[in-house]
Amino acid sequence: MKMGLYKIKPVFKEMIWGGSRLNEKFGFDTPSKTTGEAWVVSAHPDGDGILLNGEFEGQRLSDVYREHRGLFGKGENTKFPLMVKIIDANQDLSVQVHPDDEYGRKFENSYGKTEAWYVLDCEEDTRMIIGHTASETQELLNAIQTGTLEKYLNSFKINPGDFYYIPARTIHAICAGSLVYEVQQNSNVTYRVYDYNRKDAQGKNRDLHIRQALEVTQVPHRSVAPRPLTVTSQGMSVTTYLDEDYFALSKVVVQGSGSYLLRGEFSLIGVLEGEAKINGVQFKLGDHAITTHDEKTLEIVGDCVVMVSIPREVLL
């Protein structure tokens, strides 16, 4: 008998800007105190998660999705559509941009990368960068070449619980002091625009990708501001932050028990506060899983916060 919910072993990435909060907050067995990312749901070649339960225990998520595509509903694309990360920015990440699907397929053999951020925690006065004020690409290039890019960047303070949507082609940066939950297309293509003249472990500046960045960056920048919608019923509150072309993202807050209807082909779920039993499977803080197409509801028991991501048809 096949299960309908499969937990996934996270993949950890050490980064020059990483910290220790993935271990401290979630209890993850991180490799060092400069661990920047936990890829909590990933089927990417750079970090392919292992299933932890059921008949596919010990197998890679990419293999299960490709070889048992029918379990995940309609669609013929055998490449897993999304990736979910938890990011610990102990220092500023580079100012960067990601390509859209057209550019990614043509030059990188990859999806583009549209993403969304939910701020789990941040220090006082922590900032983020989304977008720029340049009106022409040449103006942006001049700012990069003269070392004045920072004055063109849209920088603002953030708070825990904030949500941001970053379409492909948007210049952005997660900044020091933030702990962020990120849902994105299944891509690892990043073009660095500016890296604060930082040195790596070998004392060298990290590579920049100015040509590619200028080719893909949206100029002028156009802001996109989602409008979260919260619906509360007995014992459960659901906030839908986003439902667009690539994915939907919702936060489900449960006190005691609740039943959440899944509206999509399959879902990616994770417990970000508390612990829970979901469809009979025990979840501790930080645990993530995928559901199959046959799982139409999440029966949640516990005092917890569960994030639910659902890929949309364009990626299937």
The CA-based angle 300-258-277, given to 5 degrees, is: 15
Distance CA 267, CA 187 (A): 18
Cα–Cα dist 252/246, whole Å: 20
What is the DSSP annotation of 124-186? TT-EEEEEE--SSHHHHHHHHHTT-GGGGEEEEE--TT-EEEE-TT--EEE-TTEEEEEEEES
Q: Which residues are catalytic?
A: 192
- Residue 223 has φ and ψ, to the nearest 5°, of -75, 145
Tokens of 195: 């890296």
- Closest listed residue to residue 195, CA positions, set 95, 89, 127, 88: 95
Instruction: For the chain, state the CA radius of gyration.
Output: 19
DSSP state of 206: P
Neighbours of 18 (CB within 10 A): 24
Q: Residue 154 in contact with residue 217, Cβ under 8 Å? A: no
- CB-based burial, 247-277: b 16+ in 10 Å, e otherwise: bbbbbbbbeeebebebebbbbbbbbbebebe
